[in-house]
Amino acid sequence: MTPRLVDFIRLLRAQGLPLSVAEGLDALHSVGTVGVQDRDLLRLTLRTTLVKAQRDFPLFDTLFAQFFTMPRRRRRRRGQQPAPGNTGASPRPTPQPNGVPQASTPPPQPAPPVAGARSTPEPPQDAPEPEEADASEATALQALAELEQAWREQVASPPSSRQAAALERTEAQQLAVRIDRPFPPDQLASMYREVERLALRLLSRQALRTRRAQRGRLDVRRTVLQGLRSGTEVPFTFAYRRRKRSKLRLIVLCDVSGSVWQATTFLLKLVHTLQSAFASVRSMVFVNRVVEVTELFQRMRFPEDLDALQHYPQLNLFGFSDFGRVFYQFSQDFLHDIRQNTVVLILGDARNNAFDPQAWALGEVRQHCRRIIWLNPELRRDWNTGDSVLAAYAPFCEQVLECWTLEHLMQAADALLQR
């Protein structure tokens, strides 16, 4: 059953469901525990271990029904065919050369049974022969085996160069889509799903790196001592110097003014998906003053609850952007919450409307945190033009990155997950 489950997991991945290796192993262990006798229990077990979002339940149920359905043998009903006289139509007379129709000859009647003779039951006329039934069953099983073998070969065979190139072009086109422009409502929902899919891929990769790092290096001394103390047939049990890797804390500071609103929503969706990788996530938005929206952010649904964010109390979307005032307020009100394991993520175009930048306030924040990452939703050639004061803030930032496509967003997420 294990190869069959592995093929089913590959099918789910091919249909777009994000599945990691750890989740596949959990599914195999769970099926080994509950068994495969109960079909509904098997379906619920696989759905619990493999599907993360409730919206993917219908797709999973459809694929499960198609993948684990066996064709049933059709049984022919036994019974005699109706006689011609029972249909209500009389036989047609045969014309003769003299024009007089000849009466139809009645069908021969069976001879009366002889007294003392034992009657032999005749088999029904439409009953299938045993050889025909076996042949039809063998044909159905052979067709099923050929279909499964063809599907296995299709899964196992690597895609052709043309298909691989087409997939690469499609993914490159998706990553090149600009996120700083408005989208139609139907396309906006698909873009949020794409951001979530890419973020989950990064999470799986980060989890694998974390497990490898936590394993540590081989401790030869402890390995030898444990081998001498055990006295078993196995001379050595490897011991490792395990490193405790604590999760980072994240503070997100997003500009929600009209010029960067669209890019901000995608960044919030990305951080919302990645929040399991951090010990804590605090979300703050601003135009000319800082407003914390952590509670709303924890239960937010995209894009349904974006209107609630726009109408959040104390948030004035019609004010003029003032980064200097924002950083001063942040350093005064939230500096005591910043630790050495805190990463500050800022999204904004640094257009300060000729106000005082007060870059020293961001410098104080940098002294207390681990690093600052600045994401700018403008093209690099537009930086430090007009009223942009990004050059005043850049010295206090570990990285200053472009963020106006999905590819830039994924690069920012990768930098965010690095320790």
Burial class (CB in 10 A: 0-12, 13-18, 19+), 286: buried
Tell me what the mean pLDDT of segment 95-105 comes to.
48
Distance CA 158, CA 390 (A): 47
CA neighbor of 418 nearest in space, from 354, 343, 364, 316 = 343
Tell me what the mean pLDDT of segment 64-90 comes to.
58
Q: Is the model's pLDDT at 158 over the cut of 70? A: no
Residue 85, pLDDT score: 46
Distance CA 184, CA 189 (A): 9
Q: Hey, how many other C-beta atoms are within 10 angstroms of the C-beta on 324? A: 20
Residue 318 lies in a domain: yes
Residue 229 lies in a domain: no
CA-to-CA separations, 343 to 18, 155, 284, 290, 369, in angstroms, rounded: 27, 42, 14, 17, 6
Give the range among 160-169, 204-213, 307-316 with minimum mean pLDDT. Answer: 160-169
Query: pLDDT tier at 348 (50, 70, 90 boundaries)?
Result: very high
Distance CA 185, CA 343 (A): 33
Q: Which domain holds residue 254?
A: 249-417
Residue 99 region by backbone torsions, left for phi larger than 0, else alpha for psi between -120 and 50, else beta: left
Considering its fold, how many domains does the chain have in total? Answer: 2
Of 272 and 232, more confident? 272
Q: Is the model's pLDDT at 45 over the cut of 60? A: yes
In sequence order, which ranges of 15-75 are alpha helices (DSSP H)? Answer: 21-34, 39-50, 57-67
Residue 326 lies in a domain: yes
Q: Is the model's pLDDT at 322 over the cut of 90? A: yes
Tell me what the mean pLDDT of segment 189-212 comes to.
74
Residue 269 lies in a domain: yes
Confirm if 323 and 350 have CB atoms less than 8 A apart.
yes
Q: Is the model's pLDDT at 386 over the cut of 70? A: yes
Confirm if 396 and 372 have CB atoms less than 8 A apart.
yes
Residue 175, pLDDT score: 61
Residue 327 lies in a domain: yes
Confirm if 371 and 288 have CB atoms less than 8 A apart.
no
CA-to-CA separations, 50 to 44, 56, 79, 158, in angstroms, rounded: 10, 10, 49, 24
Of 21 and 100, more confident? 21
Residue 174 structure tokens: 């998706």
Of 221 and 216, more confident? 221
Which H or E run includes 374?
Answer: strand 371-376
Residue 397 lies in a domain: yes
Distance CA 328, CA 334 (A): 10
- For the chain, the C-alpha Rg in angstroms (whole number) is 36
Of 158 and 286, more confident? 286
Residue 266, pLDDT score: 86
**Boundary (domain end) residue, out of 42, 63, 84:** 63
Query: pLDDT tier at 100 (50, 70, 90 boundaries)?
Result: very low
Of 47 and 164, more confident? 47
**Boundary (domain end) residue, out of 63, 81, 116:** 63
Q: Is the model's pLDDT at 38 over the cut of 80? A: yes
Q: Is the model's pLDDT at 390 over the cut of 90? A: yes
Confirm if 415 and 374 have CB atoms less than 8 A apart.
no
**Boundary (domain end) residue, out of 46, 63, 80:** 63
pLDDT digits (tens, 9 = 90+) for 359-374: 999 999 999 999 999 9
What's the distance, CA 343 to chain centroid?
Answer: 27
Q: Is the model's pLDDT at 192 over the cut of 60? A: yes
Query: pLDDT tier at 98 (50, 70, 90 boundaries)?
Result: very low
**Residue 17 one-letter amino acid:** L
Burial class (CB in 10 A: 0-12, 13-18, 19+), 11: middle
pLDDT digits (tens, 9 = 90+) for 234-244: 566 777 776 66
Residue 418 structure tokens: 């690095």
Confirm if 71 and 144 have CB atoms less than 8 A apart.
yes
Residue 116, pLDDT score: 46
Residue 260 lies in a domain: yes
CATH code assigned at 363: 3.40.50.410
Residue 85 lies in a domain: no
Query: pLDDT tier at 332 (50, 70, 90 boundaries)?
Result: very high
